[in-house]
Amino acid sequence: MAEIRVDGARLWDSLMEMGRIGATPKGGVGRLALTDLDKQARDLFVRWCEAAGCAVRVDRMGNIFARRAGTDDSLAPVMTGSHLDSQPLGGRFDGAYGVLAGLEVVRALNDAGAATRAPLDVVAWTDEEGARFKAGMMGSGVFAGLQDLEAALANPDPDGRTMGAELARIGYAGAEPVGGMEIAAFFEAHIEQGPVLEAEGIPVGVVLGGQGQRCFRVTVTGEEGHAGTLPMDRRKDALLGAARMIAALNGVAFAHEPHPVITVGALQVRPNSPNTIPGQAVFTIDSRHPDDGTLATVAADMRAACEDIAAEAGLEVALEQTTSRGTVAFDETCIAAVRAAAERLGTPHRDIYSGAGHDACNLALIAPTAMIFVPCEKGISHNEAENAKPEDLAAGCDVLLQVMVERAGAAG
Ligand SMILES: [Zn+2]
């Protein structure tokens, strides 16, 4: 089956059609997890998979698995996939590419009349982005046993709607147990979301692993007061304290070499009234680094910086760790398979680390796993301007087909 190639135009057309669901004015996508738009995207994916002859099942986390049968379905499946949810102002390729590349592998094998010994599963993981329920990689996290199912389902969005209720509402609270299945290998195709591949003109990144990540929710508590009557020197302004902490956290990043990346991306102010001194401010911290030891030191430095400022300003501060992921090293044999497939196809490639977290980082804990990166324009992602070239997307998908067939075994 070494001669089978994917249909790059069909893959592109599917991406464009999927991108119409939740399309934003500047050419991006806003498709938050478990919204009506996410349901539409899921429905379209399921329809396409069933049309391609796959049997679709949904687990209790709403993860969707589309199976292309093998000649020996007692064998563990070779799995691929990614996510269909996006950031509020995200792009058309982040996640959707990995899901639809998997579907294109199935379609291309169907066209070629080619069978594999082990079955192939194409999966769409629930809520990778963490933009709505504030903790990302949820579906794959529960699947990999990192998070408790019931706790995940009870996770609320800012309006108090839980994941479980929203899954039920959109019709994707499946009956299948989450995880506990044997997986022969997991491969995820994804845009790089960074500038390296494009800058070097290389279409395929062989991903060696992902950097570690620690996230926190920081609650700064002061005292509400009248904006007109309370003198400046008597105030306990929670937002002012939070602002100083945010600036200090940026300083922590520059104090370490090589720099970790530290982001404060969400902030809530209470009561959020123009003429009341803020009594409470809650913000998030996302910190990442390829070295676990450095990441731990950075976490301690961030905590100290926030506590020092709170003490100085007469405020209370509480840092709650919401996510902790160690550095992930992908499976040597899967990495080698990706590299060898790119070689066979004559596709220029290079080794690369993932700066972002991916579902594959969770899967790596329970199955031999690797990722395939393709370039995206100027490295822009989590942005409506996110873009990628059809030929690069096809090149990554061809590598995906090769490694999946190799792992599943060609039949006949
Ligand atoms: Zn993604």
Cα 246 to middle of ligand 1, angstroms: 26
How many Cβ atoms from other residues are within 10 Å of residue 34's Cβ?
28
Q: How far is the CA of 230 from the centre of ligand 1 (A)?
A: 47
How far, in Å, is the centroid of ligand 1 from the Cα of 271?
34
Which residues fall within 8 angstroms of residue 150, CB to CB, at 6 or more apart? none
Which residues have a beta carbon within 5 Å of ligand 1, which is an ion? 94-95
Mean pLDDT of the chain: 96
pLDDT in tens, 33-53: 999 999 999 999 999 999 999
What is the 100 CA–ligand 1 centroid distance (Å)?
A: 13
Give the contacts of 343 (CB within 8 A, at least 6 positions apart): 349
> How far, in Å, from the CA of 190 to the mean position of ligand 1?
7
pLDDT at 325 over 90: no
The alpha carbon of 155 and the centre of ligand 1 are apart by a number of angstroms equal to 21
Give Cβ neighbours of residue 2 (< 8 Å, ≥ 6 apart).
Answer: 344, 402
Rg of the chain on CA atoms, in Å: 23
Distance 124 CA to ligand 1 centre (A): 11
Share of the chain above pLDDT 90, in %: 95
pLDDT in tens, 209-220: 989 999 999 999
For residue 233, the CA-to-ligand 1 centroid distance in Å is 47
Q: How far is the CA of 377 from the centre of ligand 1 (A)?
A: 15
CA 336 / ligand 1 centre spacing (Å): 23
Q: Is the pLDDT of residue 258 over 90?
A: no
- Can you tell me the mean pLDDT for 125-148? 93
CB 176 within 8 Å of CB 165: no
Is the pLDDT reported for residue 145 higher than 90? yes
Residue type, position 362, single letter: N
Q: Following CA atoms 253, 255, 260, 265 in sequence, which dihedral angle do they give, to the nearest 10 degrees?
A: 0
| pLDDT of 387 | 96
Q: How confident is the model at residue 412 (pLDDT cuts 50, 70, 90)?
A: low
Q: How would you classify the pairing of strands 410-411 and 115-116?
A: antiparallel
Separation of CA 137 and ligand 1 centre (Å)? 9
C-alpha 128 – ligand 1 centre gap (Å):
7
Tokens of 179: 């995880």
Which amino acid is it at 83?
A: H
Distance CA 264, CA 185 (A): 35
pLDDT tier for residue 2 given thresholds of 50, 70 and 90: confident
User: What is the tens place of the pLDDT at every residue in 335-393?
Assistant: 999 999 999 999 999 999 898 889 999 999 999 999 999 999 999 999 999 999 999 99
User: Residue 238 and residue 14: Cα distance in Å, rounded?
Assistant: 48
Q: How far is the CA of 74 from the centre of ligand 1 (A)?
A: 31
Domains of the chain: 8-210+327-411 (3.40.630.10), 212-325 (3.30.70.360)
Cα 53 to ligand 1 centroid, rounded to whole Å: 26
pLDDT of residue 290: 83
Question: Rounded to the nearest whole angstrom, what is the distance from the C-alpha of residue 244 to the centroid of ligand 1?
Answer: 31
Cα 81 to ligand 1 centre (Å) = 10
Instruction: Classify the C-alpha dihedral 370-371-372-375 as positive or negative.
Output: negative
Whether residue 1 is predicted with pLDDT greater than 80 in this model: the reply is no
Ligand 1 centroid – CA 83 distance (Å): 6
Task: State the distance from the centre of ligand 1 to the C-alpha of 367, rounded, in angstroms.
Answer: 19
CB 240 within 8 A of CB 221: no
CA of 188 to the centre of ligand 1 (A): 10
Q: Is 93 left (phi over 0), alpha (psi -120 to 50) or beta?
A: alpha
Q: How far is the CA of 242 from the centre of ligand 1 (A)?
A: 29
pLDDT, one tens digit per residue, over 158-194 is 999 999 999 999 999 999 999 999 999 999 999 999 9
Residues above pLDDT 70, as percent of the chain: 100
What SS3 string covers the chain? Answer: CCCCCCCHHHHHHHHHHHHCCCECCCCCECCCCCCHHHHHHHHHHHHHHHHCCCEEEEECCCCEEEEECCCCCCCCCEEEEEECCCCCCECCCCCHHHHHHHHHHHHHHHHHCCEECCCEEEEEECCCCCCCCCCCCHHHHHHCCCCCHHHHHCCECCCCCEHHHHHHHCCCCCCECCCCCCCCEEEEEEECCCCHHHHHCCCEEEEEEECEEEEEEEEEECCCEECCCCCHHHCCCHHHHHHHHHHHHHHHHHCCCCCCEEECCCEEEECCCCCEECCEEEEEEEEEECCHHHHHHHHHHHHHHHHHHHHHHCCEEEEEEEEEECCEECCHHHHHHHHHHHHHHCCCEEEEEECCCCHHHHHCCCCCEEEEEECCHHHCCCCCCCCCCHHHHHHHHHHHHHHHHHHHCEEC
- C-alpha–C-alpha distance, residues 244 and 311, integer Å: 12
CA 359 to chain centre: 6
pLDDT tens track for 232-253: 999 999 999 999 999 999 999 9
| 189 within 8 A of 400, measured Cβ to Cβ | yes
- Rounded Cα–Cα distance for residues 56 and 64 (Å): 7
DSSP bridge pairs for 209 = 329, 353
For residue 191, the CA-to-ligand 1 centroid distance in Å is 8
Confidence grade of residue 28 (pLDDT, cut at 50, 70, 90): very high
Q: Render pLDDT for 259-304 as a digit per residue (tens, 0 to 9).
A: 999 999 999 999 999 999 999 999 999 999 988 999 999 999 999 9
- Gap from CA of 94 to ligand 1 centroid (Å): 4
Residue 398: both structure tokens together: 């061809």
CA of 223 to the centre of ligand 1 (A): 40
